[in-house]
Structure 1
């Protein structure tokens, strides 16, 4: 039997496949907490705006998802994003594990994990290969991602 929260996760990733950030955001509770190795922790509208920014900027983008599981309280899924990292023009294949918590038919928490050094090797090339494992480079990536989101939110008058 398919659990309602399995359908919720599937709806979220199907919207992602269509690059429909509004439909993705509709799966979130207003007080959503999102985290991943690049953006760190985002709260409320920041999470939806991150997806809006990423889907708007995506080049040669495709995702697939699998192993969706859920109960009344929590769930998980694996997904793979394939895209061109716009800042370097390099192709990226990112394997992500998402863990979810639910409340009242919405996602209240999403924690995405992936190999940040693996991502930097693909996205940044030799610099990422040689230095992507260092706290300095990983911190710079996080700072740049957060700054980019803040600028996007200001321009979109969403922040």
Structure 2
């Protein structure tokens, strides 16, 4: 299963969404602070959208560990946040659960306040640690995803 995680992140590094989503079970559940919980095709389409829209994108992954049931990895992404043009360096810790040789559950953990401070400057510094900000962020990211899926 370690190879599965490495394939997933190699796909992300290469902005190859098809390679990434091939690692996901059809009933996958993805969750992170920016999108909240996404299931099945919504989770797969999130990666398609992110790969398609990436600007100045670079990713590195490390600390990949896995057994037959679960795994984990650390990954870091550098990119330009499209809304503000500001550079972001996000550090993420991922947890995985497997079913039938694929990822059935994928949870990314990162510091949303730190991310918001980079992506949005002083507004992110001021509001990025609040529940209000996270709720608003999830609304906006899911609206973008809805629009992407509709096209």
Assess same fold via TM > 0.5. yes
Asked if 1:33 is matched to 2:29, the reply is yes
**From 3, 6, 11, the counterpart of 2:7:** 11
- 2:106 is aligned with 1:110: yes
Displacement over 2 Å in runs of 4+? none
Matched, 1:76 2:72: yes
Counterpart of 1:140 in structure 2 is 136
Please give the alpha-carbon distance, in whole angstroms, between the structure 1 residues aligned to 2:57 and 2:39. Answer: 25
TM-score (norm 2): 0.99
Match of 1:88 among 80, 84, 100: 84
Query: In angstroms, what is the RMSD of aligned CA positions?
Result: 0.6
Work out whether 1:121 is the aligned partner of 2:113.
no
- Which ranges in structure 2 are unaligned for 5 or more consecutive residues? none
Number of residue pairs aligned between Structure 1 and Structure 2: 151
Q: Secondary structure at the match of 1:148?
A: helix
Structure 1 length normalisation: TM-score? Answer: 0.94
Counterpart in the other structure of 2:54:
58
Shift of 1:95: 0.2
